[in-house]
């Protein structure tokens, strides 16, 4: 793996993230160089010094029979993977700190009743196009959640410094589309992929990325499975699951027209687009190939990683009932991509020391795509 190629934004961002407080696991406060917290952003005293002051005053009360209570502080960072509660607290913090541009909503409830939270970042300009980002529809693909939270964080905290191609978009960001599965991967089974629905007795879980309506059930067992015990189980009907229905209802109910749909997965290092349900190229194949290549080039120029670009069926296999086939064909979102993040080497267990550089390479890809979209006059055949 090559290191950074010297992109100024990347290096600066990397430096910014060299700050971490981890308290709940190892009972210690650790502050490294740089700043990341809201306290620092607002120019108040260093969190490092204020934390030490708190600890110091607390220690005066300690007797041999009294231990300090476990600290509840959980700060988001991109140096390790986080549980759902940390992700959701991070989203709430963004809304609290940047209320003019950040709004949290609950777009639905999971099978087990967990909130599916969505962050919208927008300057409320009525002429904005909408961009959708989702992650962890497959719950074991943790790097996807890290990447979209990074993008959310970076857009919100630097909003007025970004180029117009970023600020003239309404960003709809769902970091954990499958919260039940995501929690389950942290508590029970790291390799769990599906949601936690019960269908036909003991079998648990629907593959949410086979549960969308377009091409649902096509190609028999090659594109998905009708067997509830199978890892690719498509569910008893299109949109049978509340998690996929939440995506449908949010996008189709939105007042702003969606122009981009990016669903993040791992681990094949691919940028793929429709179709997944059949072999033929989609009507806008060449343009999507070009747009995908813009992203792949940005990734390569950032870290040297090579992501292949092509249609879903060409680069992987039949995948029927996927969100990107639906977003392109039914929701008429022209730039519909599935991005398979790192890594083919480590599969779903991408080491945490690769989180940050994966986030940076994808952020540069997203920026490149937005610039490309705003500079092209291409007329989509699929457009409404």
Q: Which residues are catalytic?
A: 340
Question: How many residues bind to Zn ion according to rule CB under 5 A?
Answer: 2
Report if residue 194 touches Zn ion, rule: CB under 5 A: no
**Is residue 13 near Zn ion by the rule CB under 5 A?**
no
- Residue 310: enclosing H or E segment and its boundaries? strand 308-311
Q: Give least dist CB 159 to Zn ion, A.
A: 30
Nearest residue (CB) to Zn ion, 156 versus 362? 362
Phi/psi at 84 (nearest 5 deg)? -55, -40
- The CB-of-221 to Zn ion minimum distance in angstroms stands at 18
Closest separation in Å from C-beta 348 to Zn ion: 9
Token pair recorded at residue 202: 């003991």
Q: How far is CA 160 from CA 130, 200, 338, in A?
A: 18, 52, 28
| Closer Cβ to Zn ion, 209 or 364, answer by number | 209
Min dist. Cβ of residue 235 to Zn ion (A): 16
What string marks each residue from 351 to 380 as x (binds Zn ion by CB under 5 A) or -? ------------------------------
Of 140 and 259, which has the nearer Cβ to Zn ion? 140
**Tokens linked to 307:** 């992501």
> Which window, 132-140, 198-206, 268-276, 285-293, contacts Zn ion (CB under 5 A)?
132-140
* Nearer of residues 19 and 264 to Zn ion, judged by Cβ: 264
Across the beta sheet with 129-135, the strand order is: 102-109, 115-121, 169-174, 129-135, 258-266, 335-341, 270-273, 308-311
d(Cα 370, Cα 170) in Å, to the nearest integer? Answer: 12
Contact 134, 208 (CB under 8 A): no
**By the rule CB under 5 A, 138 interacts with Zn ion:** yes
Element (H, E) at 289: helix 285-303
257: left (phi over 0), alpha (psi -120 to 50) or beta: beta
In the region spanning residues 243 to 282, those forming contacts with Zn ion, defined by CB under 5 A, are 265
Binding site for Zn ion (CB under 5 A): 138, 265
């Amino acid at each position: 793996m090559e290191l950074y190629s010297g992109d100024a934004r990347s290096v600066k961002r990397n430096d910014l993230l060299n700050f971490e407080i981890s308290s709940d696991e190892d009972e210690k406060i650790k502050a490294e160089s740089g700043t990341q917290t809201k306290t620092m952003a607002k120019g108040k005293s260093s969190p490092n010094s204020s934390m030490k002051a708190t600890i110091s005053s607390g220690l005066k009360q300690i007797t041999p029979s009294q231990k300090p209570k476990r600290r509840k502080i959980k700060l988001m960072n991109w140096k390790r993977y986080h549980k759902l509660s940390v992700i959701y607290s991070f989203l709430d913090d963004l809304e609290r700190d940047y209320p003019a541009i950040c709004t949290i909503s609950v777009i639905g409830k999971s099978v087990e009743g967990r909130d599916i939270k969505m962050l919208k970042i927008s300057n409320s300009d009525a002429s904005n196009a909408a961009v959708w980002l989702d992650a962890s529809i497959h719950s074991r693909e943790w790097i996807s959640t890290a990447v979209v939270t990074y993008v959310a964080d970076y857009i919100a905290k630097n909003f007025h410094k970004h180029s117009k191609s970023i600020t003239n978009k309404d960003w709809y960001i769902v970091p954990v589309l499958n919260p039940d599965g995501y929690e389950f991967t942290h508590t029970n089974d790291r390799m769990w992929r599906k949601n936690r629905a019960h269908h036909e007795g003991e079998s648990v879980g629907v593959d949410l990325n086979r549960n969308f309506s377009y091409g649902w059930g096509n190609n028999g067992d090659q594109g998905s499975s009708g067997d509830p015990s199978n890892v690719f189980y498509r569910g008893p009907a299109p949109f049978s699951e509340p998690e996929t229905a939440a995506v449908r209802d949010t996008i189709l109910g939105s007042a702003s027209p969606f122009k981009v749909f990016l669903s993040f997965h791992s681990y094949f290092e691919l940028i793929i687009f429709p179709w997944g349900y059949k072999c033929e190229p989609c009507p806008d194949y060449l343009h999507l190939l070009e747009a995908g290549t813009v992203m792949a080039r940005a990734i390569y120029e950032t870290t040297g990683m090579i992501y292949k670009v092509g249609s879903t069926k060409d680069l992987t296999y039949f995948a029927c009932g996927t969100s990107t086939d639906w977003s392109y064909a039914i929701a008429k979102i022209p730039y519909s991509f599935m991005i398979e993040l790192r890594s083919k080497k480590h599969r779903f267990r991408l080491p945490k020391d690769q989180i940050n550089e994966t986030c940076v390479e994808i952020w540069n890809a997203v920026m490149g795509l937005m610039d490309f979209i705003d500079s092209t006059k291409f007329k989509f055949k699929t457009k409404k």
